[in-house]
Amino acid sequence: MSTDRMTPTSAFADDTHWEHPHPRRGFFTDTSICIGCKACEVACKEWNRNPVDSDYEILGSSYDNTGGLGADTWRHVAFIEQSQERIEEARESGRALVNLGMPRVGPPAPSPAPASTGCACGPAAPADDAAGSGCACSGPSSATTAPATAGCGSADGCGCSSGGAGGAAAGTAEGGSPVLDTPDFRWLMSSDVCKHCTHAGCLDVCPTGALFRTEFGTVVVQEDICNGCGTCVAGCPFGVIERRDDGLVEPKTQRGTPPMPDTVKVPQDGIAQKCTLCYDRMKEDQTPACAQACPTTSIKYGERETMLESAQQRVAQLHEQGRTEARLYGANPKDGVGGTGSIFLLLDEPEVYGLPPDPRVPTADLPRMYRRAGAAVLGMLALGAAAFTVGDRR
């Protein structure tokens, strides 16, 4: 079976340390239906026996109590409150991501049926798209892509991404204005997790081989090999992986037994930790704990290509409703990490969710750095040889 169908780049098996025939697995997190219940966060902690990392008090800046991803929190649900003004700005920024194509000559073409998958997160639509029926993403350089939909209220198939919502669609009022969650503000609930990047910086820089690519395309830390050097912490462009500093958690083999005394617990102080995408459950063909516990199916798990198709269909559906702020994150194979195993549907720009707008794996610049360093060394040697030669002649 070819890996071209399973992964976002055809060279995935060649340069990402993955040579298995298994389909690549991943998450699709739909933040538009997340209710912020934190069931995924609790299920992750319970299954992996991760220690408590907060005192259960609400943060001063949010209704959250954990703050972010870390060595003890592998799934984190954030609460983001937005005013009506910010919602309108998000909707406009979503419209700006859509390429409407070139104007056509002649009578308008019949409107096609609504697209089932939106447009793929690949190159933008060609400039000579005379029919104007192919809406494309904003371009290969952006990590955030917003597939547009065909047949959403205008003859060119892109009415939902122009000035208005393209007619009276679901989620719009009589005058065409969007219906907000409340008259004054809305909550954005965001369940964040390790991205399991195509080009994983943590995996590239690990000096001990503690991080490895599983047969499902995910990245996992082997805690019995990790020496706690922290190199992987600096190698992650998302700030996901951290070293555990409170240690002492019970091993997974002790599930269902009475709590162990502190004298026999397994110390993990200083060991790098992050989401494993429930690798132990995946090997048994089980759903990861967070996805199984999610009551709204906001977290979906399966083959990455299937998750990508579901994400594109969901964005197309939201665009048909006039919610042009919907966009995908991590679905672009030409971004700085080659796309991610965890795909997110966002309702605002990535920075609002604490995500880098254009992540880039740090090791991508190593070849260029080595070439420049080599050129500098050769230049110094040449100058030294020239100085000795001129000195001898005098």
pLDDT at residue 187 in the model: 86
Q: Which domains does the chain have, with CATH numbers?
A: 1-360 (3.30.70.20)
Q: Which of 209, 111, 206 is nearest to 160 (CA)?
A: 111
Q: What letter does residue 239 receive in the DSSP assignment?
A: -
Q: Residue 228's CB: how many other CB atoms inside 10 A?
A: 16
Tens of pLDDT, residue by residue over 93-121, are: 888 875 544 455 666 556 444 444 334 34
pLDDT at residue 100 in the model: 43
Q: Does residue 297 have a pLDDT over 50? A: yes
DSSP secondary structure of 151-171 = SSSSTTS-GGGSSS-SSS-TT
What's the pTM? 0.69
Tens of pLDDT, residue by residue over 339-355, are: 899 999 999 999 999 99
Q: Does residue 311 have a pLDDT over 90? A: yes
* H-state helical runs in the chain: 12-15, 39-48, 84-96, 201-205, 231-235, 279-282, 289-293, 304-320, 366-393
Q: Residue 46's CB: how many other CB atoms inside 10 A?
A: 12
Q: Residue 353's CB: how many other CB atoms inside 10 A?
A: 17
Q: To the nearest whole number, what is the mean pLDDT of the chain?
A: 74
Q: 59 CB contacts (<8 Å, ≥6 apart)?
A: 65, 67
Tens of pLDDT, residue by residue over 31-80, are: 999 999 999 999 999 999 888 776 677 777 777 888 889 888 999 998 98
Q: Does residue 357 have a pLDDT over 80? A: yes
State how far the alpha carbon of 25 is from the alpha carbons of 2, 28, 125, 188, in Å.
15, 10, 29, 26
pLDDT at residue 6 in the model: 38
Residue 353 · residue 188 · CB < 8 Å: yes
